[in-house]
């Protein structure tokens, strides 16, 4: 897909601190995949992590045209009013960064896309909750063997289904990668969001894609579409659509 004409939208990409991870080189490669996914569609990426100086962080947030919340460690369950009941590797300073980024995106009305942890963070920030552990949804880590996969059943007529299936709004079932151990049950979804896709699990159907029912672009997926070797090519349209949505704010600069 060729990037559209017009000013390159400035998209803040929140990332893990690679040097803190047990496999820093792999973590850096993971971070790069998120950046590449939007840059190849014409965006200017502004990477931020928990070590970004406050002044630089503030300047990026007040000038961003969009926000991409990415994968990583579990969210502190206190963010959605729960005690720890299975959450792992919590990073409070990343939670703080992303909560501030979300609040700024909300106040400025810029588009937001969430992936994996970002999916979960968006739901929590908007008033939803998480199932803190789901058996069987976390296979071998990326870079350590083939991805575990499972079906994602798209909800007919949703905006995301129309993006992934432009010639068939009835949607269908996609096979997506599975790198998470937490999830969002039907009853856990924030009131302002509508489910766009479900996956089966021992805990029952999980919401694994959602979108805002009104207002600015808000969309999220539990899988990792930036890992193109283990997700359908159709997800490339999601990145293109997100970048295009960010062109509106960019044109107003």
pTM for the full model? 0.94
Task: State residue 128's pLDDT score.
Answer: 98
Task: State residue 194's pLDDT score.
Answer: 98
Do 218 and 112 touch, CB atoms closer than 8 A?
Answer: yes
CA distance 118 to 78: 16
Alpha helices by DSSP H, listed for the chain, are 24-39, 54-63, 92-108, 117-125, 159-164, 236-251
- The beta strands (E) that lie in 83-226 are given as 112-115, 149-154, 173-177, 184-185, 193-199, 206-212, 218-221
Burial 104-130 (b: 16+ CB within 10 A, else e): bbbeeebbbbbbbbbbbbbbbbbebbb
What is the sign, positive or negative, of the torsion defined by CA atoms of 221, 226, 231, 234?
positive
CA distance 245 to 237: 12
For domain 10-251, is the CATH number 3.40.50.300?
A: no
Per-domain boundaries in the chain: 10-251
Nearest Cα neighbor of 141 from 26, 225, 235 is 26
Task: State residue 202's pLDDT score.
Answer: 85
Task: State residue 177's pLDDT score.
Answer: 94
Task: State residue 1's pLDDT score.
Answer: 46
CA distance 117 to 181: 10
Three-state DSSP class for residue 70:
coil
For 133, the enclosing helix (H) or strand (E) is: none
Tell me how crowded residue 232 is: count the other CB atoms within 10 A of its CB.
Answer: 14
- Residue 244 makes CB contacts below 8 A (sequence gap 6+) with 4, 41
> What average pLDDT values come out for the chain (253 residues) when binned by 10 residues?
72 97 93 98 98 97 98 96 94 97 98 98 98 77 75 96 88 91 96 96 93 96 95 96 94 77
Task: State residue 168's pLDDT score.
Answer: 80
- What residue has token string 């960019």? 250
State both tokens at 160: 């995301």
Task: State residue 2's pLDDT score.
Answer: 47
């Amino acid at each position: 897909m060729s990037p559209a004409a017009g000013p390159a939208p400035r998209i803040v990409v929140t990332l893990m601190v690679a040097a803190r991870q047990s496999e820093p080189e792999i973590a850096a490669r993971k971070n790069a995949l998120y950046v590449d996914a939007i840059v190849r569609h014409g965006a200017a990426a502004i990477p931020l992590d928990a070590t970004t100086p406050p002044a630089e962080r503030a300047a990026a947030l007040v000038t961003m045209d969009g926000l991409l919340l990415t994968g990583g460690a579990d969210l502190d369950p206190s963010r959605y009013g729960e005690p720890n009941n299975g959450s792992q590797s919590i990073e409070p300073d990343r939670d703080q960064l992303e909560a501030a980024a979300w609040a700024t995106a909300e106040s400025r009305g810029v588009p937001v896309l969430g992936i994996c942890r970002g999916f979960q963070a968006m739901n929590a920030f908007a008033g939803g909750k998480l199932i803190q552990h789901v058996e069987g949804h976390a296979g071998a880590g990326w870079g350590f063997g083939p991805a575990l996969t499972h079906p994602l059943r798209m909800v007919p007529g949703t905006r995301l289904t129309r993006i992934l299936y432009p010639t068939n709004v009835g949607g269908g079932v996609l096979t997506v990668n599975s790198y998470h151990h937490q999830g969002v049950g039907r009853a856990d979804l924030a009131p302002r969001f509508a489910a766009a896709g479900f996956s089966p699990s021992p805990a029952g159907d999980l919401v694994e894609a959602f979108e805002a029912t009104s207002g600015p672009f808000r969309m999220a997926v539990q899988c990792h579409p930036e890992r193109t070797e283990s997700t359908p090519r159709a997800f490339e349209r999601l990145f293109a659509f997100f970048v295009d949505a960010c062109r509106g704010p960019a044109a107003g600069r």
